[in-house]
Structure 1
């Protein structure tokens, strides 16, 4: 029997509401700030809407994003989208193929190869960033979409998760596919890929957010603002040598940087949860 404790329910709701307010307050400040004039931030941070919202949003989207950026934010959004989607699809494709080879093929040192891949999880990006930069520079891929995407598409995490997913599939499925005359490629595309759709959806959400939020790598390899991403450009908008920071434009850019990952999480929420908790086998 569950004991009814009104005070405990009230306390739980208070904690939840307080947590929501703490998380939502910065978003509210950014939303309000995006509607203010540039001089509204001189003395204090405004907490209610101004009358410059349409002008600020249209200026940032279709004109120069700031005094230190000469390109509009829609171009930065496009760069970030290309990078995030390229990293996402690249990670999923390479990880699925490598996990497929490790699980369903028999070759020497198969387990050793997997553990070598898995050990790379212990190496953060900062440790590998200098030799990676040297390779990209030698290949003349600085200031390019390929330079932004290719070094980031290898993923030991995704390989591990897909390996665990493939290992949970019954061996009878492979035998039935062989009896029906399905080769390795047909088995992968006609059987394995459809059965892994929820796992792919979950990895898509995780990897898209990972690619969208990249800051250090684009900052290092891009010197041409044509290839700047949205997240790294926010820092450039704050680096004003002379004059005041255009906080209203910074707030608009911050909100625009939040919209795509939030939309992906909300739009794929059901598939994301099913991919993590239900293998649909």
Structure 2
């Protein structure tokens, strides 16, 4: 029997409130800084209340960009990051779910060897294989392109492993019933396995979208054309300016804008994301 202790509820809510304040306070400071003039942030005292430059600062970074960092508009950099993140997330999920389906439901020579070769690539992150990958991308003429930003990053051993583990939990009776009904491999995959995997797909999409959005090292190597800069590269260039003080009010405005797409994805897909993690529908 669970005792009703009102004071415990108050303590729990107080701890949660402290946690929210701890996480939200830096975000609030960044937003407040993005609404002030540049000189207000160089006085040594960080303001905690919004200023009167909200629309002016955001219009500047979205429209003309920061001249000290090359003048690349933030809107263009956010579009590049969006294309890269969506390509990586969709590509990883598509390749992983198809490869996991082949490994689980098809019997071909060296099937498990292929799976373990895929799984072993977890020990080879981008940083380890970055030089040969860059050489291949350069030889294929994919520098300064959306394909060069996303294609080398779309393979995912982790997603393949997760989909394989889920497919192994699907009852064999379901497969037999589909075969009796005359469903071929493609129909079984599209009409049965894919709908059953929607929570897994949603959870992986959120994780992989954020993974693609925050990429820095690979875009830094494969892009020299400013029209293909990503938002993370843009923030770094705004901070590391030469012979001048960083315009922190514009940097903070860019940082706030950079947080919006990942937050929107998490908020819109949080229901399916939680289900995919706790496996309530499996």
Q: Any residues of structure 2 matched to 1:12-51 within 5 Å, and which?
A: 12-44=12-44, 45-51=46-52
CA contact (8 A) 1:165 1:279 kept: no
CA distance in 1, matches of 2:55, 2:67: 16
Shift of 1:141: 0.8
Query: In the superposition, relative to structure 1, how do residues 66 and 48 fare at CA in structure 2: closer, same or farther (>3 Å)?
Result: farther
Q: Which runs of 5+ in 1 are unaligned?
A: none
Give the structure-1-normalised TM-score. Answer: 0.95
CA contact (8 A) 1:66 1:237 kept: no
Q: Any residues of structure 2 matched to 1:81-96 within 5 Å, and which?
A: 81-96=82-97
Over residues 199-233 of structure 1, what are the superposed CA-to-partner deviations in whole Å (9 max), with x where a residue is unaligned?
Answer: 11111111111111111111111111100011121
Match for residue 128 of structure 2? Answer: 127
SS at match of 2:167: helix
CA contact (8 A) 2:85 2:209 kept: yes
CA distance in 2, matches of 1:16, 1:129: 42
CA distance in 2, matches of 1:202, 1:117: 21
Give the structure-2-normalised TM-score. Answer: 0.95
CA contact (8 A) 1:205 1:268 kept: yes
CA distance in 2, matches of 1:164, 1:49: 49
Shift of 1:196: 1.2
SS at match of 1:54: helix
Match for residue 52 of structure 1? Answer: 53
Shift of 1:195: 1.6
CA contact (8 A) 1:66 1:249 kept: no
Match for residue 102 of structure 2? Answer: 101
Shift of 1:131: 1.3
Matched, 1:225 2:263: no
SS at match of 1:253: helix
CA distance in 2, matches of 1:5, 1:239: 54
CA distance in 2, matches of 1:186, 1:4: 53
Shift of 1:129: 1.1
Q: Which runs of 5+ in 2 are unaligned?
A: none
Shift of 1:3: 4.2
RMSD: 1.5
Match for residue 243 of structure 2? Answer: 242
CA distance in 1, matches of 2:95, 2:272: 21
CA contact (8 A) 1:66 1:246 kept: no
CA distance in 1, matches of 2:67, 2:252: 12
CA distance in 1, matches of 2:101, 2:217: 31
Q: Any residues of structure 2 matched to 1:266-277 within 5 Å, and which?
A: 266-277=267-278
CA contact (8 A) 2:74 2:234 kept: no
Query: In the superposition, relative to structure 1, how do residues 177 and 5 fare at CA in structure 2: closer, same or farther (>3 Å)?
Result: closer
Deviates more, 1:214-223 or 1:95-104: 214-223
